[in-house]
Chains A and B, each alone.
Chain A
Amino acid sequence: MKIFDDHDVVLKHTLPVRLFHWCLVLGFLPAGITGIVLFFRPFGPEGMHFVMQIHIVGAWLLSLACLGFFVFQPKRVAAFWREIFSWTKRDIDWMKVSGGYPQKIFLGKEISVPLMRKMNSGQKLMGIFVFFGAIIIIVTGLILYVALPLVPKETVWYVDKIHLVVGVCLLGAVCGGHIPLGMYNWQEFICMFGDGTIKVKDAVKHNKLWVEEDIEKVK
């Protein structure tokens, strides 16, 4: 077992990862929120046109960020895939107690939970959902944006419904789960939105296996 000092700091999220995450925040959230507005159409033609422009700009940012990350950071994509698709009994046990979060938040008591690597099982599940969900909303969004006159009306109807349902589910998962839990784990929140570093003693609380097996001293 490695011995760490209280002042040891680890770079958990590199600059490309943080930039990608910023693009997701600035692309997906405006696109998702304007998507809801576009569904309910509360404004007049000019207002809805403006909302649609925000939706399109957000969607482009999200799409280009995903494409760029895939092209320029293939190793991080591979690491992400490895992480989200590797499930063991430890993950099942973690999911059974929801990572101990309900007990901690609602009952104020800490229970023992299985040790995790860089991502916990909830984040893995979210990762799988985001991975496939993002592909679906990007592809369906592109069809609705560039190929509307070419695609049969019936197909457009289904594409529109899939775009809506998957988009709403993703927005719900992000706003209802990912953001509140991210803010609850404040050190992790600062790490992702800040300089990417976190104290090793803080990282150990949530990512003990990652700290013990996957990090090394800067050479």
Chain B
Amino acid sequence: MKYNYVEKAVQVTRREFLGMTGIVAAVLWTGAYAVTDIVEDRNKYIKMRADGLYKDDEKHAVRQSHKNKSLMSMYDKLAAKPMSPLAEELFHTKYVDRAIL
């Protein structure tokens, strides 16, 4: 043994134990409530947005791009086809891997 003195043992009274438990429970409860509230709020907006998009979709007679006359006439004027080299050059985007920071 390299020491001959130690700190006296810490005693936690029942009152202190209840106080600590109460504070921890209150913090966890408030945190859980706040997080649930935030997530619920977020989901509410996502759901509203999705509903809006579906409504917009229902209103439109043409819902697919290959049936869109103005789009097809644009391809005719360009003398190009969807997926052709010119269309790829003009309209397609490139994939960038953002999985890493």
Contact = CB atoms under 8 A, between A and B. Distances in A.
Chain A's interface size range is: 20 to 34
Given A49-B101, A152-B41, A195-B2, A215 B12 contact: no
B81 to A, nearest CB: 36
Contacts of B10: 75-76, 78-79
A164 to B, nearest CB: 16
B101 A10 contact: no
Interface string A187-219: 000000001010010000000001000111110
Nearest to A151: B38
A150 B34 CA distance: 13
B8 A215 contact: yes
A12 B8 CA distance: 11
Contact of A74 (B4, B9, B12, B41): B12
Contacts of B2: 9, 195, 197
A218 B35 CA distance: 49
A118 B10 CA distance: 13
A52 interface: yes
A45 B8 contact: no
Nearest to A153: B42
B31 interface: yes
A36 to B, nearest CB: 15
A139 interface: yes
B76 interface: no
A217 B4 contact: yes
A11 B3 contact: yes
B91 interface: no
Interface of B: 1-12, 16, 20, 31, 35, 38-39, 41-42, 45, 100-101
Interface of A: 8-12, 45-46, 48-49, 52, 74-79, 81, 118, 139, 147, 150-152, 155, 195, 197, 200, 210, 214-218
